[in-house]
Chains A and B, each alone.
Chain A
Amino acid sequence: MGLQKRGACRVRVGAALLALVGVAGCTGQPASTSAWQSSSERVIGTAISGLGTARLVVTQEQRSRLQHSYAVVASTDTIDTTAKEVSSYLVKQPPDQLHDAQAVVTDALQQTVTLLSQVRVELASPGLDGPAAARLVKRIDAMRKALEKLQTGVTTAPDAVGKR
């Protein structure tokens, strides 16, 4: 009986240890600088791609060269793809010295998703007129430029990103 109890206790301790190891494995270990650079560069690339698609959709829709439903689906696809990449980026732990840089990248990505979502909203209803399209294209271009600059910063001098 005693042996049985001890055996059950060992099983419980073993299970607890296994769970602990599992939980420890799930908590974010800081990434190396190069891994962080590579994942940041990739997610910024996805955001730039999303903005490129949005720009194309807005300009074609404004010239009445796209079916309304196609334009809406294309802009929704763009949000889906970008948001998925951004959300998986957000749960990664940056290296300790790059917390500020991570905050800057995250902020830019969130602004991109917000802009893409605004594009979709304006496309879906009531549709785009000339001035609205021009305004959106201007904002998209500015955001693209900022992201490209950020991407270069992340690649060449990650420590300097976010430090003014």
Chain B
Amino acid sequence: MKKVFGIALGILTAIGGFVDIGDLVVNAQVGARFGMSLGLVVIVGIIGICLFAEMSGRVAACSGRATFDLVRERLGPRVGLMNLIASFAVNLLTFIAEIGGVALAVMLVTSVSEVLIVPFVGLLVWAVLWRARFTVMENVLGLLGLCLVIFTVALWKLGPSWSDLTSQMATVDKPASEDWWTYAYFAVALFGAAMTPYEVFFFSSGGVEEKWTDKDLGTMRSNVFIGFPLGGVLSLSIAACAAVVLGPLKVDVAALSQVGLPVAVAFGKIGIAVVIVGFVAATFGAACETGLSAGYSLAQYFGWQWGKFVRPRKAAKFHAVLILATLVAVAVLMTGVDPIMVTELSVVFSAVALPLTYFPILVVANDREYMGQHANSSVTNFFGTIYLVLIVIAAVAAIPLLIITHMGAGS
């Protein structure tokens, strides 16, 4: 019974923790402008994140060591350093976006400018990273993040033409008013948002924090293969709600307040209250995950003591990185930079960094010295290779598309 409860809790927190500010913003933008015509990209992204999260979770469970630790050992310091630089930079950018996202969500309730809220959010995030137990942090925020299920319920309540939404997904065609470059840009952004590198690092490092062994592989796989796809359903619901309510009014989503409006149409004030709790939990949870991932990546590469399972005094450098990352994030946001713009940049640069993040994981997961009998099967390698090709295409296309389309405004 305890095991069933553990699995259920893991799945629920995986669903609630799947969506972050990047998913919220990009899915709503895409839904409002392109309907569900890019829905297949979300599905491809979710399969990809499941594939690589399972690999990195398996690496953590079988070796008892986290990804960066093994990447440096297996591929040498140079490749490890490239991996570190790319992942750390994207992580930090995502961390800034998530803290900005929390501030924007709080602003919806208080009407106070997000610039004034940011320092308090930074302090709170740091306090949680410093004091809260890993499982408490993960479970509480993951469960509260489930409030975003309201998008799925709202979609049902809005009563859209399901056949229309499905046919938009199946036909993969852009609206006449948009051009193909912009369509491709948002495809890359959606792919980057679904496959954000921090999710994998956090997942594998979390496995080490929770002392997974090969006996936990079943639980880990149920989290990944049930929790992540259901989290992906939330992403698709956000896009579909935007397509149904914002699309006909030609609304181009540029603020978090616009993302929640379809829920107001469906459920009124109660819906908005639930959605705001979901926004805060999703972005706060992701801020904690990205903040920890920044510390994990540096500490694992340089061989420092890391993690929340040891006292802060024993992992002083790890905690110093957390403090510095939080200060940098707060300082950047205090300049008045638009957190939504940071979010858009973070998902595009995630796409750029994907090959440097996922290729080493594929290599390590194939190494029988670490993995023993749990090394990748030929089927996993087949799909892993296909995904590497997709990832490289997205990475190469991301920056040119960003420039050509003026960040998705249109070429």
A67 at the interface (CB under 8 A from B): yes
Residues of A within 8 A of B79 (CB): none
A64 pairs with B251, CB closer than 8 A: no
Which residue of the partner chain, among B110, B249, B254, contacts A77 with CB atoms under 8 Å? B254
Number of A-B contacts (CB under 8 A): 79
A114 at the interface (CB under 8 A from B): no
Residues of A within 8 A of B111 (CB): 69, 72-73
Q: How far apart are the CA atoms of A63 and B264 in the complex, in Å?
A: 11
A60 at the interface (CB under 8 A from B): yes
A110 at the interface (CB under 8 A from B): no
B108 pairs with A48, CB closer than 8 A: no
B272 pairs with A67, CB closer than 8 A: yes
A77 pairs with B258, CB closer than 8 A: yes
B171 at the interface (CB under 8 A from A): no
Q: How far apart are the CA atoms of A60 and B249 in the complex, in Å?
A: 14
B249 pairs with A70, CB closer than 8 A: no
Main secondary structure of the interface of B (DSSP, over half): helix
B255 pairs with A64, CB closer than 8 A: no
A56 pairs with B272, CB closer than 8 A: no
The segment out of A18-26, A38-46, A96-104 that lies at the interface is A38-46
Q: A60-B265, A65-B265, A66-B264 given as contacts; is B246 within 8 A of A77 (CB)?
A: no
Residues of A within 8 A of B246 (CB): 52, 56
Q: Mark A46-71, 1 if CB is under 8 A from B, else 0.
A: 10110011011100100111110110
How many of A's residues come within 8 Å of B, CB to CB?
Answer: 27
Which residue of the partner chain, among B258, B269, B411, contacts A67 with CB atoms under 8 Å? B269
Which residue of the partner chain, among A49, A67, A81, contacts B273 with CB atoms under 8 Å? A67
Q: Mark B367-411, 1 if CB is under 8 A from A, else 0.
A: 000000000000000000000000000000000000000100111
| Interchain nearest-CB distance for B157 vs A (Å) | 13
Which residue of the partner chain, among A48, A60, A63, contacts B261 with CB atoms under 8 Å? A60
B260 at the interface (CB under 8 A from A): yes
| Interchain nearest-CB distance for A82 vs B (Å) | 9
Residues of B within 8 A of A63 (CB): 268
| Interchain nearest-CB distance for A83 vs B (Å) | 12
Q: How far apart are the CA atoms of A160 and B334 in the complex, in Å?
A: 46
A66 pairs with B269, CB closer than 8 A: yes
A46 pairs with B252, CB closer than 8 A: yes
| Interchain nearest-CB distance for B176 vs A (Å) | 12
Name the CB-closest residue of B to A81: B254
Give the bracket for the number of chain B residues in contact with chain A. Answer: 20 to 34
B166 at the interface (CB under 8 A from A): no
A48 pairs with B250, CB closer than 8 A: yes
B167 at the interface (CB under 8 A from A): no
B107 at the interface (CB under 8 A from A): yes
B272 pairs with A70, CB closer than 8 A: yes
A74 at the interface (CB under 8 A from B): yes
B318-349 interface with A by 8 A CB criterion: none
Name the CB-closest residue of A to B257: A74
Name the CB-closest residue of B to A148: B250
Q: A56-B245, A66-B264, A66-B272 given as contacts; is B255 within 8 A of A77 (CB)?
A: yes
B109 at the interface (CB under 8 A from A): yes
A49 pairs with B250, CB closer than 8 A: yes
Q: A49-B250, A49-B251, A73-B107 given as contacts; is B261 within 8 A of A56 (CB)?
A: yes
B257 pairs with A77, CB closer than 8 A: yes
Residues of B within 8 A of A77 (CB): 254-255, 257-258
Q: Mark B276-302, 1 if CB is under 8 A from A, else 0.
A: 100000000000000000000000000
Q: How far apart are the CA atoms of A81 and B340 in the complex, in Å?
A: 11
B258 pairs with A74, CB closer than 8 A: yes
B261 pairs with A74, CB closer than 8 A: yes
B252 pairs with A49, CB closer than 8 A: yes
Residues of B within 8 A of A46 (CB): 252
B264 pairs with A60, CB closer than 8 A: yes
Which residue of the partner chain, among A42, A65, A69, contacts B410 with CB atoms under 8 Å? A42
| Interchain nearest-CB distance for A119 vs B (Å) | 14
Which residue of the partner chain, among A49, A65, A69, contacts B109 with CB atoms under 8 Å? A69
A/B interface sample: 18 pairs, CB < 8 A: A38-B411, A42-B406, A42-B409, A45-B410, A52-B249, A52-B251, A53-B258, A56-B261, A60-B264, A63-B268, A66-B264, A67-B273, A70-B260, A70-B264, A73-B107, A74-B258, A74-B261, A77-B258
Cβ-closest 3 pairs across A and B = A52-B249, A65-B268, A77-B255
Residues of A within 8 A of B (CB): 38, 41-42, 45-46, 48-49, 52-53, 55-57, 60, 63-67, 69-70, 72-74, 77-78, 80-81
Residues of B within 8 A of A (CB): 107-111, 245-246, 249-252, 254-255, 257-258, 260-261, 264-265, 268-269, 272-273, 276, 406, 409-411
Given A49-B254, A55-B249, A77-B255, 10 extra CB contacts under 8 A: A45-B250, A45-B252, A46-B252, A52-B250, A53-B251, A56-B245, A65-B268, A70-B272, A77-B254, A77-B258
